[in-house]
C-alpha cells in the first residue's frame, strides 16, 4: 500500500537539519533533486522546509580560500616589516597610512550572492595564474574599485583578498592625508604611493570618496586640480608596482577619470533575503541555533546589511553563552531586549510587530511574510506548543 510521505517527514526533516550544514555539494545536489520531486508530487510545504535548510547553510556563498604564490605576481619591492617606519603628515604629525600585516588579516570571507562569489573567484584564479599571463605579455587585473552601501562587507572583502595574496595592506588614512595647507595634500598623496610602491603590499584606498568630497569643499580651484592630478598620476605609476583596491560608499562622487583608472569595478549590493540568512548563519559560527531562530533573526533585520547581522549575532551568541540551557525558552524575550537596545539596527515594521507582544498578531505576520514561517517554526520561536499556534491560526468556532 502506498503511504503518505508526511508520515515520515518529521524524521526526514530532522535528519537533514542535522546533516546538511557543512556537507559537500554532492549531498546538496541530491537534496535539491528530492526537493524537486517533492514539489512535483504536490508536497509544496515539505519542499519548502527542506529548501530552507539549504538556504541557511552558508558554505556555498563563502569564497574559497586560495593560496597565491607571491613570486608569481611579478612585483619586486622590499619586504614590509614591523621595523619600517610609517610616513607622517609634516604639519600635524598624523600618520598618513596604516599597515596591517598578513597575520592580522581576516580568515573569513564575507558572504555574498553566488554571482558575486563567482566574479571574485575569477580574479583570484587570474592572480594565481599571473606568471602564465605575464609570460604571454598579458596583464592580470591590478586594481579594483569596490563600491556599495555602508556595512555590506567591502572592507572585509579587500582585507580577505590581501590575505589570499599573502600581502600586507597599506591603508591610506584620509584624515592624515588631507591638509588645509596649500600643496601639502598632494605631497602626502605622493608619499603614500611612494611608500606603497617601495614595499610588497596591497594599497587600500578605503572610503576613497573623501578625496572627491575634498574637491567639493575646497574653495581653491587650483589646489583641487592639483590633488586630483597627483592622484591620477600616482595611480598610473602604481600599475607597475603592485595591487590597489579602492573602496567607496558614494561612487557618484568619484571623478570619472579616477574611476577609469581601475581595471575592474565591483558593485556590492545589499544582501538579498537569502544571503542575509546565510550571513546570520555564518556569523553564528559554532553557536548552534534552530533554523527557525536563524530565520527569525534574519526577518528581524530584513532589508539590512551584514553589519546589522554582525551586531545581532554577537549579542545572541553572548546570550547563549551566558544563559545556556534556558536560551530557547528565553529566545523571544531576548529578541525583544535586543530591539530595545538597537532600534536603529532592526527592520522598523517587523520590530514593531515583535514589540506588540501579541501572539496572534505575530503568528499572522510571520506566516504571511515573505519568509513564510510555518506553525512549527513559530512555536519554536515563541517556545510554545505547536497546538497553541495551530489554534491561533485556525480558531475553532465555539458553537461547533
Ligand atoms: N556580506 C557580508 N558577509 C559577512 N559579514 C559581513 C558582510 N557585510 C558586512 N559584514 C560584517 O559587517 C561589518 C562591517 O563590514 P565592512 O566590511 O566594514 O563593511 P563596509 O566596508 O562595506 O562598510 C563587519 O563586521 C563584517 O564582518
Ligand atoms: Mg568599509
Residue spans of the domains in the chain: they are 1-57, 70-268, 272-400
157 Cα to the center of ligand 1, angstroms: 8
Cα separation, 255 vs 258, in Å, equals 5
Give the closest residue to 272 by CA, choosing from 53, 55, 45.
55
Quote the pLDDT of residue 114: 87
Please give the number of the atom of ligand 1 that sits closest to the Cα of 282. 4
What burial class does residue 221 get, using C-beta atoms within 10 Å of its C-beta: 0-12 exposed, 13-18 middle, 19+ buried? exposed
The arithmetic mean of pLDDT across residues 314-319, rounded, is 94
CATH of domain 70-268: 3.40.50.300
pLDDT at 59 over 60: no
The arithmetic mean of pLDDT across residues 227-253, rounded, is 89
The residues with which 143 forms a beta bridge, in sequence order, are 244
> To the nearest whole percent, how much of the chain has pLDDT over 90?
54
- Number of the ligand closest to the Cα of 308: 1
319 Cα to the center of ligand 1, angstroms: 22
Listed in sequence order, the DSSP H helices in 264-358 are 273-284, 291-300, 306-323, 327-341, 348-356
pLDDT at 44 over 50: yes
Q: Is 246 a pocket residue for ligand 1 (Cβ < 6 Å)?
A: no
Q: Which of 278-287, 310-319, 386-395 has the lowest mean pLDDT?
A: 386-395
- Taken in order 298, 299, 302, 307, the sign of the CA dihedral is negative
Q: What one-character DSSP code corresponds to residue 72?
A: G
Where is pLDDT greater, at 129 or 355? Answer: 355
Q: Is 345 a pocket residue for ligand 1 (Cβ < 6 Å)?
A: no
Q: Which of 12-16, 207-211, 360-364 has the lowest mean pLDDT?
A: 207-211
The arithmetic mean of pLDDT across residues 88-95, rounded, is 89
Quote the pLDDT of residue 400: 44
Mean pLDDT of the chain: 88
- Number of the ligand closest to the Cα of 151: 1
Cα separation, 328 vs 389, in Å, equals 17
Q: Candidates 107, 148, 152: which one to mutate for ligand 1, based on the most atoms within 8 Å of Cβ?
A: 152
- With cut-offs at 50, 70 and 90, classify the pLDDT of residue 218: low
Quote the pLDDT of residue 97: 96
Q: Is 173 a pocket residue for ligand 1 (Cβ < 6 Å)?
A: no
Q: Is 310 a pocket residue for ligand 1 (Cβ < 6 Å)?
A: yes
Q: Is 108 a pocket residue for ligand 1 (Cβ < 6 Å)?
A: no
155 Cα to the center of ligand 1, angstroms: 7
pLDDT at 22 over 70: no
The arithmetic mean of pLDDT across residues 73-85, rounded, is 86
Quote the pLDDT of residue 160: 94
Cα separation, 256 vs 252, in Å, equals 9
Contact indicator for 89, 188 with CB cutoff of 8 Å: yes
Q: Candidates 112, 153, 280, 309: which one to mutate for ligand 1, based on the most atoms within 8 Å of Cβ?
A: 153
pLDDT at 215 over 60: no
The residue whose CA has the least distance to atom 6 of ligand 1 is: 306
Q: What does each C-alpha distance from 304 to 50, 106, 223, 297 come to in angstroms?
A: 25, 22, 39, 11
What number of helices (H) and strands (E) belong to the chain?
19, 6
Helix (H, G, I), strand (E, B) or coil at 211: helix
Backbone angles phi, psi at 365, to 5 degrees: -65, -45
Q: Which of 111-125, 211-225, 232-246 has the lowest mean pLDDT?
A: 211-225
Quote the pLDDT of residue 51: 85
Residue 255, number of CB atoms within 10 A of its CB: 14
Contact indicator for 280, 309 with CB cutoff of 8 Å: yes
Please give the number of the atom of ligand 1 that sits closest to the Cα of 206. 21
241-295: pLDDT as tens digits? 889 999 999 888 888 888 889 999 999 999 999 999 999 999 998 888 999 999 9
Strand 97-100 vs strand 169-172: parallel, antiparallel, or unpaired?
antiparallel
341-354: pLDDT as tens digits? 999 999 999 999 99
Quote the pLDDT of residue 179: 81
pLDDT at 206 over 50: yes
Q: What is the spatial order of strands in the sheet that 97-100 belongs to?
A: 97-100, 169-172, 202-205, 243-248, 143-148, 264-268
Give the closest residue to 160 by CA, choosing from 78, 81, 64.
64
Cell, residue 164: 589570499
Cα separation, 341 vs 360, in Å, equals 25
The arithmetic mean of pLDDT across residues 116-144, rounded, is 88
pLDDT at 368 over 60: yes
The residue whose CA has the least distance to atom 24 of ligand 1 is: 307
131-168: pLDDT as tens digits? 888 889 888 899 999 999 999 999 999 999 999 888 99
Q: What one-character DSSP code corresponds to residue 259?
A: H
- Number of the ligand closest to the Cα of 152: 1
Cα separation, 265 vs 284, in Å, equals 31
- With cut-offs at 50, 70 and 90, classify the pLDDT of residue 87: very high
The arithmetic mean of pLDDT across residues 369-391, rounded, is 91
Q: At what angle do helices 154-165 and 114-128 cross, to 10 degrees?
A: 30
Contact indicator for 304, 345 with CB cutoff of 8 Å: yes
pLDDT at 57 over 80: no
Quote the pLDDT of residue 293: 96
What predicted TM-score, i.e. pTM, was given to this entire model?
0.83
Strand 264-268 vs strand 243-248: parallel, antiparallel, or unpaired?
unpaired
pLDDT at 365 over 90: yes
The residues with which 100 forms a beta bridge, in sequence order, are 169
Backbone angles phi, psi at 362, to 5 degrees: -60, -45
- With cut-offs at 50, 70 and 90, classify the pLDDT of residue 212: low
Cα separation, 97 vs 372, in Å, equals 48
What Rg, from alpha-carbon coordinates, does the chain have?
A: 26
The residue whose CA has the least distance to atom 15 of ligand 1 is: 153
Q: Is 304 a pocket residue for ligand 1 (Cβ < 6 Å)?
A: no
Amino acid at each position: 500500500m502506498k503511504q503518505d510521505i508526511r508520515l515520515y517527514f518529521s524524521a526526514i526533516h530532522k535528519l537533514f537539519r542535522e546533516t546538511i550544514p557543512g556537507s559537500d555539494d554532492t549531498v546538496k545536489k541530491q537534496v535539491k533533486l528530492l526537493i524537486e520531486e517533492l514539489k512535483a508530487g504536490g508536497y509544496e510545504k515539505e519542499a519548502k522546509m527542506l529548501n530552507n535548510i539549504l538556504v541557511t547553510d552558508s558554505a556555498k556563498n563563502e569564497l574559497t580560500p586560495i593560496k597565491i604564490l607571491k613570486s608569481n605576481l611579478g612585483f619586486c619591492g622590499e619586504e614590509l616589516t614591523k621595523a619600517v617606519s610609517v610616513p607622517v603628515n609634516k604639519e600635524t604629525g598624523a600618520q598618513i597610512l596604516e599597515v596591517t600585516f598578513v597575520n592580522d588579516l581576516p580568515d573569513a570571507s564575507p558572504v555574498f550572492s553566488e554571482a558575486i562569489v563567482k566574479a571574485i573567484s575569477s580574479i583570484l584564479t587570474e592572480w594565481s595564474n599571473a606568471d602564465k599571463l605575464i609570460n604571454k605579455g598579458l596583464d592580470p587585473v591590478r586594481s579594483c574599485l569596490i563600491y556599495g552601501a555602508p556595512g555590506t562587507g567591502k572592507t572585509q572583502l579587500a582585507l580577505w583578498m590581501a590575505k589570499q595574496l599573502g600581502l600586507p595592506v597599506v591603508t591610506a588614512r584620509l584624515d592624515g592625508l588631507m591638509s588645509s595647507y596649500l600643496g601639502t595634500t598632494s605631497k602626502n598623496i605622493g608619499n603614500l604611493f611612494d611608500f606603497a610602491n617601495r614595499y610588497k603590499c596591497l594599497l587600500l584606498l578605503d572610503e576613497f570618496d573623501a578625496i572627491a568630497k575634498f574637491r567639493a569643499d575646497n574653495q581653491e580651484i587650483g589646489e583641487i586640480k592639483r590633488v586630483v592630478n597627483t592622484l591620477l598620476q600616482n595611480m598610473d605609476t602604481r600599475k607597475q608596482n603592485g595591487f590597489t583596491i579602492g573602496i567607496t560608499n558614494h561612487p557618484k562622487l568619484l571623478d570619472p577619470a579616477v574611476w577609469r583608472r581601475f581595471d575592474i569595478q565591483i558593485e556590492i549590493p545589499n544582501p538579498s533575503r537569502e544571503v542575509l540568512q546565510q550571513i546570520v548563519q555564518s556569523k553564528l559560527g559554532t553557536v548552534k541555533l534552530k533554523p527557525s531562530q536563524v530565520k527569525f533573526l534574519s526577518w528581524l533585520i530584513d532589508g539590512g546589511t551584514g553589519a546589522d547581522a554582525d551586531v545581532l549575532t554577537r549579542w545572541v551568541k553572548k546570550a547563549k553563552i551566558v544563559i545556556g540551557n534556558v536560551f530557547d525558552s528565553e529566545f523571544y524575550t531576548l529578541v525583544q531586549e535586543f530591539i530595545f537596545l538597537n532600534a536603529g539596527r532592526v527592520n522598523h515594521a517587523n520590530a514593531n510587530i515583535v514589540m506588540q507582544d501579541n501572539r496572534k498578531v505575530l503568528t499572522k505576520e510571520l506566516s504571511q511574510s515573505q519568509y513564510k514561517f510555518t506553525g512549527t517554526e513559530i512555536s519554536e520561536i515563541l517556545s510554545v506548543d505547536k497546538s497553541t499556534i495551530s489554534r491561533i491560526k485556525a480558531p475553532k468556532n465555539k458553537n461547533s
